[in-house]
Structure formats: C-alpha cells, structure tokens
A and B are shown apart, each in its own frame.
Chain A
Amino acid sequence: MDLSYFIFLSSGLFLGWSLGANDAANVFGTAVGTKMLRFKTAAVIASLFIILGAVCGGAGTSRTLAELGSVNELAGAFMVALSAALAVYWMVSSGTPVSTTQAIVGSIVGWNFYSNHHTDTTILAKIVSTWLICPVLSGILAVGIYWLVKRVLKHSKTHIIRQDLYTRIGLVLACAFGAYALGANNIANVMGVFVDAAPFHEVAIGNITFSGTQILFFIGGLAISCGVFTYSQKIIKTIGNDVMSMSPIIAWIVVVAQSLVLFLFASQSLQYFLHAHNLPALPLVPVSSSQAVIGAVVGIGMAKGGRGIRWSLLGKVALGWVTTPVISALVCFIFLFVLENVFNLVVYH
C-alpha cells in the first residue's frame, strides 16, 4: 500500500476531526447543554453511530460531491480537504458553528477554478438550494413535532419524573439516530474526494463484505470520533443555550428534526422507495447539521412567539454560512498554486 496516500489522506482526517468537533456537537449538543446526558455518554454513542452511518450509508452523498468536481489528483484532493478543514477550524476556533459541507463545496469549486474544470452549475445549484431547504425543512419538522409533543403531553398527564426518564431515553435514541444520519450524510465531505484513489481492497468479516470505499469511510469515521472527543465541548456551549435557552424536551425535538433532515438527504433506500412509488424524492446531498439545528431551534422559537430567539447571534451564525465557502474556495485556490509551484506537485490533470 502506498504510504504517500496516507500522507495526503491526513488532510481528510483533519477535516474529519473538524467535522467531529463542529457538526457532531449539533447532534448531541442540546442534550449535553441541557444537562440531560453526560458529555462522555453522548460522545461514545455519537462516535459509534457516526462510524456505523459512514460505513453503511455514506455512498449516496459521495456521488453528488463527485459530480460537482471529480478531484483527479491525490495532491489536489489533499489540498481540497485541507482548505475545507482550515476554514472549519478557524470558524470553530472563533466559536461560530459552521458547515463542513459548505467548506468542502467551496474547496471543490476553488479546485475547479484553479484547474479550469467546468463546475456543473446544475449540481452546484442543487447543493446550494439544499442550504436553504435544509434549515427550512428542519424548522417545519421541528414545529410539527413540537405541536405533536405538546398535545401528547397535555393528554397523557405523565408525571414530571417519568417524563424526565422518557426524555432521557428519547435523547439517547435520537442522538444515536442523529449520529448515524450525520455519518451517512457527511462522510462524503470528509472522504469523498479520496474515494477514486483509495487503495483499499474488499475485506470480508463473516458474511459481511466491506468495500474499499467503506474501509476509507471507516477511517474517516474514526477521525470524526476523535473530533467528537477532543473539541466538540466548546461548540456545545454555543448550540446548547446561546441561540435560545431550551428545555430537555425541546432539545430532543431539535435533535430528532435535524436527524430526520440529515437522514432524508442521505438515505438511498428512501430515495428508491419514493421513486418506486412515483413520489418526489430529495437529492442525496451532504447537508449541514449546523443549519438543520439552527433551523429547528428558530422554528420552535417562532412557534413559541419568537421572543426567546437571540437574533444577533443568529446573524453571526448566518454570516459564517456565507463566509465559509468563500474562505474555503480562496484558501484552496491559493494553496493549490503554492503546492503546484513551490512543491512541484501535480494537483490536477
């Protein structure tokens, strides 16, 4: 196996770490922020299910990213992932929740510009449109679940202590589902550009066979888990309480809404099912868990009258969404130039 592959893969792993630090916090940040789950418990659950989601359901969204720009040299892929990772890292360091998807899309477009490859505007428009659809859909789902839960609570007359127990169980399940959906949806951001050059062979464990891509995604999943354990606590502080202070039940609704959105944009089986029944299906696109969470939080905030939402912080978050792809594309363009002209590496062909 070529060692240089792993050196180039390091940027993808760094991006995976950034995703773990930033996006995984969206999955269980509300649960930890409301003190319903311990950070360690949530991190273990999230890590396991992120890896499971990445290995079992990560193929669909990878294809869409490949259609946007098939980065055809390993050094180019290295820089695309590194630029996205740096953009995410800077934003995370400043305490702003960002989207890894936007960072990687910005980087790929930067690579397309640098290498004079045509950027498929239809695919780009499809991806960018999901940046709007994702928070809106998440908000709508969150409001729907909010009204449903409110109604159920009113009629069930569950004791406050029992309700607390159910909420905890619900949060654990929602975190597991959210982590699975995040792994399935976002692994393409981390490892998508390295798929073509992956040197891994099929591995059979019992009756289950893992493809080379799945092994690559497993490594990416491990990198995400590292990010979860080492750096996600800082972001949790922002997501947990800053945008809107929330109760544990609201935290559960937020996790479920964003998990559903991530799952809808990642599930190939669901897409086949909807196509088979002549129903419109959502594109398999990596979407931002940050946007989904913010959408859900704002949706519920507005359903409650909009009084608790801190719009100023939301403005800062929205600004991060615009600047992330731009910074990422610029960094990628400049660094590709450096890589090609200073280190004499081939970054495209």
Chain B
Amino acid sequence: MFQLKISLFSQTKALENKIDLFHDKIMDVAMTFKKAIAVFLREQRSEDYRKLCKQIKNIEHDADGLRRDIENKLYAQNLIPDLRADVLELVENLDRIINRFDEVAYKFYIERPDFPEEYHAKMKELCEQVSDCAENMAIASRAFFRDFSTVRDYSQKVYFIESESDLTSGKMKEAIFDSDMPLANKLQLSGIISEVADIADIAEDCIDELLIFTIKRDI
C-alpha cells in the first residue's frame, strides 16, 4: 500500500516534470529562433546558422517525444478525465508553434531570402515580437496547469504582442512592395514575412482556446 502510494506520487511528479519540460522547449525554441534569424541576417547561410537550425530541429524533436509521452500517460493512467481532451488539445497547439518555428528557420535555410540592410532592424523586431508571443503563450499555458487565475493576464500580453507583430509585418511588406527590387524578390520576402508573422497568429489562436479551457478548469 505504502509502495503503491510512493509509486503514484512519483508517477505524478514525473508527468508534472514532463509538462514543465515541454513548456521549457517553447521558451528554448523561441529564443534560439530569434538568435538564428539575427545570425542569418548577418551571415546568410553560414555554419553558425546551420548549427542553430540543427538546434531548433533537436528542440522540435525533443518536444515531439515529450508530447507523445504526456499524451500516452494521460490516456494510459486515465488522468484528469474531465480536462484530458483540453490538455491534449493544448499540448498539440503548443507543438504546432514549435513546429512552425522549425519550419520557418528551415525555410530561411533553403530559400536564402536576401533581405536588404534597411529591413534588418524591422525583421529583428518582428522575430522579437513572435518569440515574445510564443513565450507568453507558454507562460499562460504553464499557468493553466498551476495557477489558472493568471492565465488572463498573460493572454492579454499575447493579444497585444500579436497585434504589434501584425503592424510590423504589414509595414515591412508595404515598404518592400514600394521598393525597386524585382517582383520575384518582393514576393519571396513577403511570403517569408507572412510565415514569421504566422507564428504569432498561431499563438493567438492557442490563447483563444486556452481561455475557454480555463473557464472549464474552474470548479
């Protein structure tokens, strides 16, 4: 009986750690992405950028493993039956954000978009914003698991930063299409900007769902 209790508590602790670790991965990927794009703008497809892309890929891979583990444990141990579907949805949504960071970083690697010097500051600003957005989404999600009364505070931050990123990406696209560069180049840069800004949009969609889950989480 005592052993059973110990085992139950240790299993619970292990799953808690996995969920925490999964959230850490979002923080990691957001910060690495920010760093990687700065390197790309400075050095294009350099060895450093390749290493950072690889790092992002590894984080994405680890996050996938953690997601599967969390999902399996939730089902196998029949945990949180009332909120399980919501938690699974939340974990899937967070994983989508991580995947998107990986896809965008890889797109930079493959397409090698040539951002003129004058757009570098704005591009860094956009990356900063989408990373902040994802980080705040991760904090809100972490709060959902421990202190759901603060989810609303972080969600407001996500909404605010997402609208800021929309403005930044809009201004960049406007400036690019007003410039003299070839149309093919304009379309490529515009597409890449949309992909980067899309990360913040995904975070916003996630936070919308998270707020609904939070209402259900209240007893």
Contacts and interface: CB of A to CB of B under 8 A. Distances in A.
A149 B219 CA distance: 9
A154 B81 contact: no
Nearest 10 CB-CB pairings of A with B = A35-B81, A157-B147, A249-B219, A164-B80, A160-B145, A159-B16, A165-B12, A157-B146, A161-B15, A247-B82
A250 interface: yes
Interface residues of B, number: 21
Given A35-B78, A161-B15, A150 B149 contact: no
B149 A154 contact: yes
Contacts of B81: 34-36, 248
A160 B146 contact: yes
Which of B82, B147, B217 has the most C-beta atoms of chain A within 10 angstroms of its own C-beta?
B82
Interface string B1-20: 00000001100110110010
Which of B80, B81, B83, B147 has the most C-beta atoms of chain A within 10 angstroms of its own C-beta?
B80
Nearest to B82: A247
Interface in A134-153: 146, 149-150, 153
B78 A162 contact: no
A160 B16 CA distance: 9
Interface of A: 34-36, 146, 149-150, 153-154, 157-162, 164-165, 247-250
Contacts of A160: 80, 83, 87, 144-146, 217
A164 B219 contact: no
B79 interface: yes
B80 A161 contact: yes
Given A35-B82, A248-B81, A248-B82, 11 more contacts: A34-B81, A149-B219, A157-B147, A159-B145, A160-B80, A161-B12, A161-B16, A162-B13, A164-B12, A165-B12, A247-B219
A16 to B, nearest CB: 31
B145 A150 contact: no
Nearest to A166: B12
Nearest to A159: B16
Interface of A is mostly: helix
Contacts of B8: 165
B31 to A, nearest CB: 25
Which of B16, B80, B219 has the most C-beta atoms of chain A within 10 angstroms of its own C-beta?
B219
Given A153-B219, A247-B219, A164 B145 contact: no
A247 B13 CA distance: 22
Contacts of A157: 146-147
Nearest to B149: A154
Contacts of A248: 81-82
A304 to B, nearest CB: 9
Contacts of B16: 159, 161-162
Nearest to A158: B146
A163 B65 CA distance: 24
A35 B80 CA distance: 9
B82 A34 contact: yes
A161 B146 contact: no
Contacts of B12: 161-162, 164-165
Interface in B136-184: 144-147, 149
Contacts of A165: 8-9, 12
A248 B149 CA distance: 19
Contacts of A146: 219
Given A157-B147, A161-B16, A250 B219 contact: yes
Nearest to B5: A169
Contacts of B149: 154
Contacts of B146: 157-160
Nearest to B73: A161
10 contacts: A34-B81, A35-B81, A146-B219, A160-B146, A161-B16, A161-B19, A161-B79, A162-B12, A164-B12, A247-B219
Contacts of A247: 82, 219
B206 to A, nearest CB: 17
Contacts of B79: 161, 164
